[in-house]
Structure 1
Amino acid sequence: MQKFDAVLFDCDGVLVDSEAISAAVMRDLLSIRGWEMTQEDCLSLLHGKALKDLAPLIAERTGDVVDEAWMVEFRALRDVQLDRHVRAVPHIHEALIALQSGGLRMACASGADRVKIELQLARTGLAPFFAGRIFSGHEVARNKPWPDVYLAAAEGLGVAPERCAVVEDSVTGVRAGVAAGARVFGYAPLAGAEALRAAGAGRVLNSMAELTQALASPLT
């Protein structure tokens, strides 16, 4: 019996190598407003988090009210840089082709806004793998770490959550996948294997070249 009927992918850091690009835009925006931090600190601050969840901290450190206008400004600057520089995660094209050939259904279930998701998938040539199967955390009642976006993706594919594998690179995202009842595979370049396992990932990958074999092997 096939272990999974569907694979649900996070977007940023899993399908596309975008985290450092967004962090650089945020770092520069906050620097103008008086909050200086390194690229590494800003990347750690943003990883796996929705902007609205950081609003109180940004307000505390800069005095800014992070309202809709603030978020629109950030997203506009971010999307320009993503359109110029975003790349696919290494080996993800080959992994998606193999999964598609094996008959597995696939969806992208991201905590990001739909404009960002679609821009990045189009820019990296990944959009055809997820046509009509993109789910945004901005379009459900609760974003990650709540399970809503993964539950919506499973329902959209017509697959029970427990028959889904989730691929995530952040602690927040792993928790969302676990809460949905899926089996979660961590991708470790940013969060680190230990943190992803502690959040509930059954297996942690260091390269997307490992994904197809990992999905076919028993979780430990």
Structure 2
Amino acid sequence: MTFEAVLFDCDGVLVDSEAITCGALRDMLEENGWRLSLAECMAQFVGHTVRSRADLIERHTGKPLTDAFMDEFYRRRNIRLENEITLIDGALEAVQYWHAQCEGRIAVASGADRYKVEMMLQRVGLAELFKGRIFSGHETPRSKPFPDVYLAAAAHLQADPTRCLVVEDTPIGVAAGVAAGATVWGYAPAGANPEVLREAGAVHVFERMRAFRLNA
């Protein structure tokens, strides 16, 4: 199949950010009475916005999830990301490949806030390849697993969503791509469980970003 556009998730697909973000969150949750290992925190929160898990946080901490908590989380998260963010191995080559294949019709469609996405892409050298084509689930009526952010990206590119290829690394993100009508490929690096992506609707799962090609 020839795709009109390729829509990339950001965290865990382009940038190795999920452990960094969850590390900042884990520390704050422990300070508020909920002790988790990093692995446990990632299992609970990767693919979700923190606010979407408010009930879970409030149940375990016994405290309301306040704007002050979120402001402090964003502050700590941003400091750590600015200092520690790295590119997923092979992501630059994959983005360059699809940029050429689709004549520039590529976009980032992330569930994260715009500041975080733009800052990370700038830090790892991908910002220019996605200039003017970065979409945040914080700016759509609903974030993932709803399709809104992918539909917004496809509309901006004037691409039929059913002719778009989405690449995702979480079941929630895969569900969003499927709900948009796109073809979804799952990225499951070594150590990840590819089956959860297939079960969510990914039609193909690959382990190395360098393998993200039409003939993969």
Compute the TM-score of the two structures, normalised by the length of structure 2: 0.96
Q: Is the 1:86–1:120 Cα contact (8 Å) retained in structure 2?
A: yes
Counterpart residue type for residue 148 of structure 2 = D
**How many angstroms apart in 1 are the aligned matches of 2:144 and 2:192?**
16
Measured against aligned partners, the alpha-carbon deviations of 1:40-87 in whole angstroms (never above 9, x if no partner) come to 101111110111111111111112211222211101100100000000
Match of 2:134 in 1: 134
SS in 2 for 1:88: coil
Alignment check: 8 A CA contact 1:171 1:191 kept: no
RMSD: 1.2
Matches of 1:160 and 1:104, distance apart in 2: 15
5+ unaligned residues in a row in structure 1: which ranges?
none
> Who is 1:24 aligned against?
23
Following the alignment from structure 2 to structure 1, what is the Cα–Cα distance between the partners of residues 53 and 99? Answer: 37
Letter in 1 for 2:113: D
* 8 Å Cα contact 1:22/1:82 also seen in 2: yes
Q: How many residues align?
A: 214
Provide the rounded CA distance (Å) in 2 between the counterparts of 1:12 and 1:39. 16
Structure 2: runs of 5 or more not aligned = none
Q: Is the 8 A contact 1:7 1:104 kept in 2?
A: no
Give the structure 1 partner of residue 207 of structure 2: 206
Deviation at 1:128, TM superposition (A): 0.8
The corresponding residue for 1:192 is 193
User: Offset of 1:101 from its aligned partner?
Assistant: 2.2
Q: In the alignment, what sits opposite 2:89?
A: 90
Contact 1:150 1:177 in 2 (8 A): yes
Task: Give the Cα separation in 2 of the matches to 1:128 and 1:192.
Answer: 32
Taking the aligned partners of 2:195 and 2:5, their CA distance within structure 1 comes to: 26
1:143 aligns with 2:143: yes
Shift of 1:136: 0.3
* Structural mapping, 1:108-127, within 5 Å: 108-127=108-127
Runs of 4 or more, structure 1, over 3 Å off, are: none
Query: 1:22-171 residue pairs with structure 2 within 5 A?
Result: 22-102=21-101, 103-171=103-171
1:177 corresponds to 2:177: yes
